[in-house]
Structure 1
Amino acid sequence: MSENASNPFENQPEKPVHTEVTPVVPENNGPGNTPPFQQPPPFGQFGGGMGQQNLPNSTIALVLGIISIPGCCCYGVLGLILGIIAWVLGGKDIKQYALNPAAYSLPSYKNAKAGKICGIIGVVLGALYLIFIIAFVIFFGWAALQDPELMKEMLREKGLQ
């Protein structure tokens, strides 16, 4: 057997070899659909750009501000307390954002602003409800002091006496 016959691939012309690799990019790359070659951003950085962080009390101000509104039904006191805290915390974060807006994310600024507004609403509603309760107690207390028979009659109507 000759050498040429033993190796049939030796005398054939060489085929061009392509070394260029084309990347495969999946379609429909939305915000929740990251390509397999990219890692998702670290926790807490979805709302901001590079180096932006959340304002420290924006979420707390928002939660307390929201809770302060229905908290006004507790004789106005709970709404006042939570509303004042939300108002102060939201105001501090808004001032902090105004000093350096590039360092903080816009969604956390909006949370702080909404928390401050909800806190203001909670304080106003709580104060109005508390004033109404105090006026009611003073009016009917004064009426009971002036006419004890009227107070006895009111208690009988309510079934308390």
Structure 2
Amino acid sequence: MTNTPPPGYQPAPYGFPQPPHPEANSAMIFGIVGLCLSVMCGGIGVFIAPFGWIKGKRVMAEIDANPAAYGGRGNAQAGFITGIIGTIFGALYLLFWVAYVIFIIVMLVVVSEDTSTTTFDSVNAMLGRI
């Protein structure tokens, strides 16, 4: 992509907003949806939030490279930031769920082991009353 505007394009005079970058809103939507899914749905947003992060970073770089052609940097920045936060929360939730499943498996293995003495029998054996 070149930094030159299309033929016949006139930059807006000072004080008038530039047209938003075509992908700025989609970066913001990916970031916000990813963050919401990460927080409310147990980490599922970790699969969506990185798209907002990556797309927001790319769109901000394009807007910074040619500020006379595009606006909407705030939306791209919102997608970038919420994408980072959504990815972190989603990864933490996924780590929690993996640790939880491992804990349940370990507890099932421990409970399924056959022991011939109960806790009460062990206490009596230690006290010498058997």
TM-score of the superposition, structure 1-length normalised?
Answer: 0.56
> Larger helix proportion, structure 1 or 2?
2
Count residues in correspondence. 99
**Identical residues among aligned pairs (%):** 36
Maintained 8 Å contact 1:56/1:93: no
Paired residue for 2:103?
Answer: 139
CA distance in 2, matches of 1:54, 1:131: 38
Q: Deviations over 1:45-103 (max 9, x none)?
A: 9xx837x32112111111221111220132312x1122111111101101101211121
Q: Which has the larger radius of gyration?
A: 1
1:92 and 2:85 matched: no
CA distance in 2, matches of 1:86, 1:129: 19
Match of 1:102 among 56, 60, 68: 68
Paired residue for 2:48?
Answer: 82
Q: Which has the higher contact order (CA 8 A, sep 6+)?
A: 2
Deviation at residue 122 of structure 1 after TM alignment: 0.6
Maintained 8 Å contact 1:83/1:123: yes
Q: Which runs of 4+ in 1 moved over 6 A?
A: none
Uncovered stretches (5+) of structure 1, i.e. residues with no partner: 1-44, 150-161
Provide the alpha-carbon RMSD of the alignment: 2.0
Uncovered stretches (5+) of structure 2, i.e. residues with no partner: 1-11, 114-130
TM-score of the superposition, structure 2-length normalised?
Answer: 0.68
CA distance in 2, matches of 1:100, 1:88: 19
